Every structure is written in structure tokens, then in C-alpha cells.
Amino acid sequence: MSGIKICGAGHYAPPKLVSNADLEKIVDTNDEWITSRTGIKTRHHCVEETHSDMCRHAAQTALERAGIKPEEIGVCIVATFSSDFLSPNAASLLQRDLGLLNDTVCFDINAACSGFLFAIHTAECLLAASPRKYGLVLGAEMLSRFINWEDRGTCVLFGDAAGAAVVEWNEEYESLGAVLHCEGDSEMLGVTGSGHKAPPQIFMQGQQVFKFAVNAVPSCMDQALTRSGKTIDDVDFFVFHQANTRIIDLAVRKYHIPEEKYYKNIEKYGNTSAASIPMVLSELTELGKVGPGSRVMLVGFGGGRAWGAALAEFK
């Protein structure tokens, strides 16, 4: 038996708030339409901040809360598709900014909204072979740079933010039991790339995404519980990717999850893709809703199509 535990978490969102009322001035929409369909009231957008700035702030907070020094980190992974450069990657820039040792394994993972799940599982595997048993795992996105302001179905959804978690590997810890899936899809949800003449833009087939998510979420939750030998009652808190409040509510009703065991911050931040799960982890620690020994189920789904779930414990 070997695995990781979460030692600390942090997050950062830029100060600029974009409200539903702000969006009414630039696109054909209104607060009632946005709120009833998504649960979003505001989102944060970068002005002068860079992607690297957000990563650094979130990571520093996570390290401070964990009581871990940069030189103790053996693995640094950033889940993102919106970093400042195609190369160097965001994790390498974070290595520079934090002063991580230069033999720290640093790279990015692109699995869109499920990216943090893929990254934390990858860190679990790599730390088993690392001489330093602490890892730094982030989800960070600057989605405002990809917004199509003429598409009211997507421009109201996305925000900029970063979330980070410090994890520790130990041969006596339980495995995450991660269940990860991918079905390549370039039409349902994504960001256009260099093969298109126009600048990169977010695209989404909203109804298809909703149908996919309401099936994928319970399926991967069941698989993760089976793999870990746990039941719903063994989970202290459920951390869902914050894409749409209705998707979360459907999962809550299906599993009869009590209100005190799940959390939604989509109203404040919108969909922050890979950042959303670690941001929830950070806010839960700030609110005192989780602590040492707390077992949380992490559930992600989104572009790719990629989805999955894992069970993590706080140290």
C-alpha cells in the first residue's frame, strides 16, 4: 500500500470582478438567464496579472499552509491549457519563481477541466520514485484570453484563477484509487488551436456537455468507490468540478449527499476549468470544513472529453 495525502492547499483569483450585469452591456443576456442555467453570478478576469502570477500566489499559499519549504518539493505539475507560453511550460516558470531545486520534475498536463485529477494522480506515481516525497500540484487557467464575446452561450461561463495543493507520498498512505477516462472529442467542448485561421477561442455544445456530464459523474464516482473499497458514507466531503450548479445538484440528489458534505463556489468564480477542484479544496480548508483525516472525493469532467474521480485524504 502506498499513496499520497494532501498537506495544504491555496488559491488565487485576480481582483477584477465581472458581474452578470457587466455582461448584459456587451452581449444579449441577463442575470436571470445566466443564474438559472449555470448558477454563476460573478467571475474573475486578469488585467495585468499573468498566468505565472496566479500560479505563484496559489503555490506560495499552499506551501505556507503545509509548512513545506520549496527545496522539499520533488515534483511540480501544473494542469493547464492557457499558460503564458507554449514553451517554457508553466511548471518550469514556477520552479524559477519559487526557487525549487533544479532537479525537481516540472511539467504541465493538459486535460482541461479534469486536469487537476490527472495531475495529482501523476504526482502520486512520480513521487514513489522521487528522493523528495513532497509534490506541488496546481490547476491554473486564464480563460479570459480565449473568450468569444459574440457567443453568449460560452462568454458568460469562464473565469481566471489558480489552485494548488501540496501532497506527501508515503508507502503507508492509501492510494488515490484514481479512475481516469478519455474519449477524444474535438467538437463538444474545447479551444481552437493553431490549425484555425482565427485566434484561439472557446467553443461548446452546451446540451451535449450537460448530457455527457450527468452520466459521466455518477459512473466515475461509483468506479472510484469500488476501486478504493469505500462507500458513499466513508466520504467526508465531495469536491466537484465547478462547471454548472445543475450538474452538481443532480449528483447530490442521486447519492443523497447532505448539504454539509459538498460545496459550490461557482457563483463567485464561474468555471475555472483545471483550477476549480483545487480552489474548492483551498476554500474548504479556510472554512474549517476539512482537516486532518478528512477523506474527500474529487470529481472532474469536461473538454477532451476527459473525466474521472479519486479519493484523497488530508494529513
**Which one of 113, 121, 155, 244 is the catalytic residue?**
113
What is the C-alpha separation between 243 and 257, in angstroms, rounded? 18
What is the C-alpha separation between 78 and 44, in angstroms, rounded? 20
Pairing of strands 306-314, 295-302: antiparallel
Least confident of 48-62, 269-283, 300-314: 300-314
Q: To the nearest whole number, what is the mean pLDDT of the chain? A: 92
What is the C-alpha separation between 18 and 42, in angstroms, rounded? 6
State the average pLDDT over residues 108-118: 95
Give me the DSSP letters along 209-265.
Answer: HHHHHHHHHHHHHHHHHHHHT--GGG-SEEEE--S-HHHHHHHHHHHT--GGGB---
**Which one of 46, 241, 244, 265 is the catalytic residue?**
241
State the pLDDT at residue 230.
93
- The H-or-E segment that residue 278 falls in is helix 276-287
Name the pLDDT band for 189 (thresholds 50, 70, 90). low
What is the C-alpha separation between 56 and 106, in angstroms, rounded? 14
Whether 241 is catalytic: yes
Q: What are phi and psi of 195, to 5 degrees?
A: -80, -5
Report yes or no: 254 and 218 within 8 Å, Cβ to Cβ. Answer: yes
pLDDT of residue 298 exceeding 80 = yes
Question: Left, alpha or beta for 256 (phi > 0: left; psi -120 to 50: alpha)?
Answer: left
pLDDT of residue 297 exceeding 90 = yes
State the pLDDT at residue 208.
78
For domain 1-315, the question of CATH label 3.30.830.10 is answered with no
Residue showing cell 436571470: 32
pLDDT of residue 187 exceeding 80 = no
242, 83, 69, 274: which is closest to 164 by C-alpha?
274
pLDDT of residue 117 exceeding 80 = yes
For 216-266, how does the pLDDT look when each residue is reduced to its tens digit (9 = 90+)? 888 999 999 999 999 999 999 999 999 989 889 989 999 999 999 999 999
Sequence-ordered list of residues with C-beta below 8 angstroms from that of 198, at least 6 positions apart, any chain: 192
State the average pLDDT over residues 114-126: 97
Report yes or no: 58 and 10 within 8 Å, Cβ to Cβ. Answer: yes
For 41-84, how does the pLDDT look when each residue is reduced to its tens digit (9 = 90+)? 999 999 999 999 999 999 999 999 999 999 999 999 999 999 99
Report yes or no: 127 and 135 within 8 Å, Cβ to Cβ. Answer: yes
Least confident of 3-17, 103-117, 143-157, 263-277: 143-157
CB-facing half-sphere around the CA of 67: CA atoms within 13 A: 2
State the pLDDT at residue 241.
94
Q: Is 199 helix (H, G, I), strand (E, B) or coil?
A: coil
pLDDT of residue 202 exceeding 80 = no
State the average pLDDT over residues 103-113: 96
What is the C-alpha separation between 220 and 275, in angstroms, rounded? 20
